[in-house]
């Protein structure tokens, strides 16, 4: 480090929003799911070797230690998600801003950046190569970290403008689509069971081929369907549709069972309890409202005695229960998406430092990169890890 280099170090955060950290405040239902107890590369969609290396450099334990160093203790919930013990996202944001203040980082809100422009590289590592044009003027800088997020929830300030800046600097941006997003369903039974959650297996077919299979709990709503299993699967649907491909979501409400086992189950019930109602038999496994709605959706009266259901009707019902095709009309869009799928390809950054491979002195981090995690604190872990790598390197390079 050159003498006095630290004291000359000036770090400025320019944020277009009037208040910084909007997503932290609304995340995790206002509690901020900071990370997950176990973070594996498989929890992310993105170039696996690069994701693995980034996560290894700053893992969940590092996140826990880092927050502890800022006075924020985290607690683990049954699902493995970690939240602040206060159950308040504000605790997380306050700690980050306190740390900025302690380190002398200038945080300027209401400073939307319009463009970032580079002068030709020089041999002088201390040259102010960058011009950051923002709504109140121009800032000269030696290094620039782009951390403008993706396109999800644009009213928080993350509207994709940063992706356009990166493109102008020579980066590619792959197609960006909403991910961790609910589905709007066409005419179906969902309004009848709004508010109900149950276990299902969800299968996503793209051009007729199985693209994703996962189990979990959907949440039926007045507009369609949400819930962790749907949100996690949604990226496969949105990416496929964006590429003009056919996508179909099938749902088994008897996870682990097949058409044959469900049909046998109904047949056995019709013999052993012939007077039981169809809905009553289904409700031995399913929530009552779901049982009745699914029977009706198959064109059957839920109060019909199970023994009186014709063989063909029983088989149609068993087929639906094992592979119910959800009539997905559309995803709920950017205003309801928790994250962005697509972005700047990971092979355009150096995963050890998050430095751009296109421009010296430029770093790219967080959701603007082509990597998205599943529900559970993984997207923040990605933001913390990439931010750590870029920050460490940008400061070192500056002080060398
Ligand atoms: C409702 C919701 C709940 C979520 N809950 C969780 C959760 O509990 N756990 C989890 O892990 N993840 C969660 N996420 C995802 C997580 O919030 C994001 O993945 C994460 O915030 C991405 O961090 P980032 O710093 O890359 O981008 P962002 O958090 O989006 O921050 C980008 C910042 O850049 C600023 N900006 C953008 N363009 C410009 C510009 N041109 N000039 C100046 N400033 C600009 C924006 O104002 C914003 O402050 C949630 C997301 C949503 C929408």
Per-residue pLDDT reduced to its tens digit, 311-361: 999 999 999 999 999 999 999 999 999 999 999 999 999 999 999 999 999
Q: Are 144 and 192 in a shared domain?
A: no
Atom of ligand 1 nearest to the CA of 372: 19
Does residue 320 form part of some domain?
A: no
Does residue 197 form part of some domain?
A: yes
Looking at the structure of the chain, the number of domains it has is 3
CA 381 to ligand 1 center in whole angstroms: 12
CA 392 to ligand 1 center in whole angstroms: 21
Q: Are 215 and 349 in a shared domain?
A: no
Protein residue whose Cα sits closest to atom 20 of ligand 1: 380
Q: Are 131 and 59 in a shared domain?
A: yes
Q: Are 145 and 74 in a shared domain?
A: yes
CA 100 to ligand 1 center in whole angstroms: 18
Residues of the chain with pLDDT under 70: 1-7, 121-123, 125, 398-400
Cα–Cα distances in Å, from 173 out to 84, 177, 364, 369? 34, 12, 12, 9
Sequence-separated (6 or more) residues with CB below 8 Å from residue 19: 109
3-class state of residue 96 by DSSP: helix
Q: Are 15 and 82 in a shared domain?
A: yes
Q: Are 248 and 241 in contact (CB under 8 A)?
A: no
Q: Are 197 and 282 in a shared domain?
A: no
Distance of CA 260 to the CA centre of its chain: 36
- β-pairing verdict for 81-84 and 74-76: antiparallel
- β-pairing verdict for 12-14 and 44-45: unpaired
CATH of the domain at 246: 2.40.30
Closest CA relative to residue 323, chosen from 270, 249, 390? 249
Q: Are 113 and 141 in contact (CB under 8 A)?
A: no
Q: Are 331 and 247 in contact (CB under 8 A)?
A: no
Does residue 308 form part of some domain?
A: yes
> What per-residue confidence (pLDDT) applies to 164?
98
Does residue 82 form part of some domain?
A: yes
Q: N- to C-terminal Cα distance for the chain?
A: 5
Of 279, 298, 331, the residue at which a domain comes to its end is 331
What CA–CA distance (Å, rounded) separates 194 from 190? 6
Protein residue whose Cα sits closest to atom 47 of ligand 1: 157
Closest CA relative to residue 163, chosen from 388, 315, 374, 366? 366
On the CB side of 122, how many CA atoms lie within 13 Å of its CA?
Answer: 10
Does residue 215 form part of some domain?
A: yes
Atom of ligand 1 nearest to the CA of 113: 42
Does residue 208 form part of some domain?
A: yes
CA 382 to ligand 1 center in whole angstroms: 11
> What per-residue confidence (pLDDT) applies to 398?
56
What CA–CA distance (Å, rounded) separates 203 from 228? 14
> What per-residue confidence (pLDDT) applies to 294?
92
> What is the sign, positive or negative, of the torsion defined by CA atoms of 308, 311, 317, 322?
positive
Does residue 55 form part of some domain?
A: yes
CA 158 to ligand 1 center in whole angstroms: 6
Q: Are 17 and 134 in a shared domain?
A: yes
Q: Are 23 and 171 in a shared domain?
A: yes
pLDDT in tens, 161-218: 999 999 999 999 999 999 999 999 998 889 999 999 989 999 999 999 999 999 999 9
Q: Are 142 and 5 in contact (CB under 8 A)?
A: no
Pocket around ligand 1 at a 6 A CB cut-off = 14-17, 20, 23, 26-28, 32-33, 112-113, 147-149, 152-153, 157-158, 161-162, 338-339, 366-367, 377-380, 383
Q: Are 114 and 133 in contact (CB under 8 A)?
A: yes
Number of residues assigned to the chain: 400
> What per-residue confidence (pLDDT) applies to 189?
86
CATH of the domain at 302: 1.10.8
CATH of the domain at 350: 3.50.50.60
Atom of ligand 1 nearest to the CA of 157: 47
Q: Are 51 and 110 in a shared domain?
A: yes
180-217 core/surface letters (b: 16 or more CB in 10 A; e: else): bbbbbbeebbbeebeebbbbbbbbbbbeeeebbebebe
How many other C-beta atoms are found inside a 10 Å radius of the C-beta of residue 131?
A: 15
Protein residue whose Cα sits closest to atom 53 of ligand 1: 338
CA 21 to ligand 1 center in whole angstroms: 7
Does residue 319 form part of some domain?
A: no
CA 380 to ligand 1 center in whole angstroms: 9
Of 274, 306, 331, the residue at which a domain comes to its end is 331
What CA–CA distance (Å, rounded) separates 62 from 299? 55
Protein residue whose Cα sits closest to atom 9 of ligand 1: 377
Atom of ligand 1 nearest to the CA of 14: 43
Protein residue whose Cα sits closest to atom 11 of ligand 1: 377
CA 330 to ligand 1 center in whole angstroms: 23
Residue-number span of the structural domain to which 392 is assigned = 5-177+341-399
Q: Are 216 and 265 in a shared domain?
A: no
Q: Are 236 and 127 in a shared domain?
A: no
CA 149 to ligand 1 center in whole angstroms: 5
- Structure tokens that stand for 165 in this block: 């800046």
Ligand 1: residue of 19, 29, 379, 390 to mutate (most ligand atoms within 8 A of CB) is: 379
How many other C-beta atoms are found inside a 10 Å radius of the C-beta of residue 135?
A: 11
Q: Are 217 and 228 in contact (CB under 8 A)?
A: yes
Q: Are 249 and 275 in a shared domain?
A: no
């Amino acid at each position: 480090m050159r003498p006095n280099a630290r004291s000359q170090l000036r770090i400025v955060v320019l944020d277009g929003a009037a208040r910084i950290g909007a997503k932290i405040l609304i995340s995790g239902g206002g509690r901020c799911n900071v990370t997950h107890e176990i973070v594996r590369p498989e929890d992310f969609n993105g170039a696996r070797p690069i994701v693995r290396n980034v996560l290894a450099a700053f893992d969940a334990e590092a996140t826990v230690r880092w927050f502890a160093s800022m006075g924020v203790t985290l607690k683990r919930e049954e699902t493995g998600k970690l939240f602040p013990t206060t159950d308040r996202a504000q605790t997380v944001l306050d700690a980050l801003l306190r740390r900025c203040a302690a380190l002398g980082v200038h945080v300027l809100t209401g400073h939307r950046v319009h463009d970032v422009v580079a002068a030709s590289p020089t041999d002088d590592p201390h040259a102010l190569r960058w011009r950051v044009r923002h709504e109140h003027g121009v800032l000269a800088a030696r290094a620039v970290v782009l951390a403008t997020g993706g396109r999800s929830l644009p009213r928080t300030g993350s509207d994709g403008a940063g992706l356009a800046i990166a493109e102008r600097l020579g980066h590619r941006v792959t197609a960006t689509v909403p991910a961790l997003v609910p589905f709007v369903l066409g005419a179906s039974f969902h309004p009848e069971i709004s508010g109900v959650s149950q276990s299902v297996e969800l299968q996503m077919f793209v051009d007729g081929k199985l693209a994703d299979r996962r189990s979990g709990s959907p949440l039926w709503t007045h507009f369609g369907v949400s819930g962790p299993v749907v949100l996690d699967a949604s990226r496969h649907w949105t990416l496929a549709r964006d590429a003009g491909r056919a996508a179909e979501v099938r749902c088994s409400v008897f996870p682990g069972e097949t058409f044959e086992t469900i049909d046998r189950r109904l047949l056995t019930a019709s013999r052993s309890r012939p007077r039981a109602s169809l809905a009553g038999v289904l409700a031995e496994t399913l929530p009552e409202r779901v049982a009745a709605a699914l029977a009706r959706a198959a064109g059957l009266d839920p109060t019909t005695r199970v023994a009186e259901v014709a063989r063909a009707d029983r088989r149609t019902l068993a087929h639906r229960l094992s592979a119910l095709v959800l009539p997905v009309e559309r995803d709920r869009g950017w205003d309801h998406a928790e994250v962005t799928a697509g972005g700047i390809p990971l092979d355009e950054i150096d995963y050890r430092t998050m430095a751009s491979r296109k421009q010296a002195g430029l770093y790219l981090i967080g959701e603007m990169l082509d990597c998205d995690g599943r529900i559970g604190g993984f997207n923040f872990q990605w933001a913390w890890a990439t931010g750590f790598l870029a920050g460490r390197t940008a400061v070192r390079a500056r002080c060398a």
